[in-house]
Amino acid sequence: MAMLQQQCLIGLSTRACERLNRLAECQKMLRSCVTTPEDDTKWSCLDESQPFARLNQRKRFWRKYGHAIALVPFVVVLFVLLRFFGNSTSSLFTVPIYVSLAWAAFVAIYSLTLIVRVLSIRCPRCGWRFGGGDQCGSCSFPRHSESVSV
């Protein structure tokens, strides 16, 4: 950003000025979206912002329990069908298996959308994409505070 300002000031690049103006507009819009009037203080990390914190919390939950939530219904259905209806030749008993597999697919798709949403977060400090790391790729704004261990 400092390089853009320098190029804009000395008149080297009109494109740098346009990008700088767009960046300033984006930052202003982002601040108006993520801060309330009483919460206009500077954040020390991304987790202090409520929408981002909730999203991160959800991502952590699904990362921890997502496999179990997706696969336990399939295992239970399989166990019940084989245990109690193992000798049946009816194709009706395959329906619960397909339903549980559809549930697993739904959970996987939901987890993927969460990951995409987390990766598309914009940094509240600089306005660029935050990325998947523990710090913003552009301005090193931390995702978590020093005291919180993940």
Locus of tokens 């699904």: 62
Told to check if 45 binds Zn ion by CB under 5 A, we report: no
Told to check if 139 binds Zn ion by CB under 5 A, we report: yes
Stretch that binds Zn ion, among 6-14, 28-36, 110-118, 141-149 (CB under 5 A): 141-149
> Nearest distance from residue 6's CB to Zn ion, in Å?
19
DSSP code, position 121: P
Site for Zn ion in 73-102 (CB under 5 A): none
DSSP characters for 17-34?
A: HHHHHHHHHHHHHHHHHH
- b/e sequence 110-127, b meaning 16+ C-beta within 10 Å: ebeebeeebeebbbbbbb
Q: What single letter denotes the amino acid at residue 144?
A: H
Residue with smaller CB distance to Zn ion, 125 or 143: 125
Query: Among 126, 135, 145, 149, which residue interacts with Zn ion (rule: CB under 5 A)?
Result: 126
Residue with smaller CB distance to Zn ion, 107 or 123: 123
> Nearest distance from residue 37's CB to Zn ion, in Å?
23
List the beta bridge partners of residue 122.
Answer: 129
Stretch that binds Zn ion, among 2-10, 71-79, 113-121, 129-137 (CB under 5 A): 129-137
CB-count exposure of residue 90 (10 Å: 0-12, 13-18, 19+): exposed
Stretch that binds Zn ion, among 33-41, 79-87, 93-101, 115-123 (CB under 5 A): 115-123
Count of residues that bind Zn ion according to CB under 5 A: 7
Residues 78, 100: Cα–Cα separation, whole Å:
9
Whether residue 26 contacts residue 126, with contact meaning beta carbons closer than 8 Å, is answered with: no
By CB under 5 A, name the binding residues for Zn ion.
123, 125-126, 136, 138-139, 141
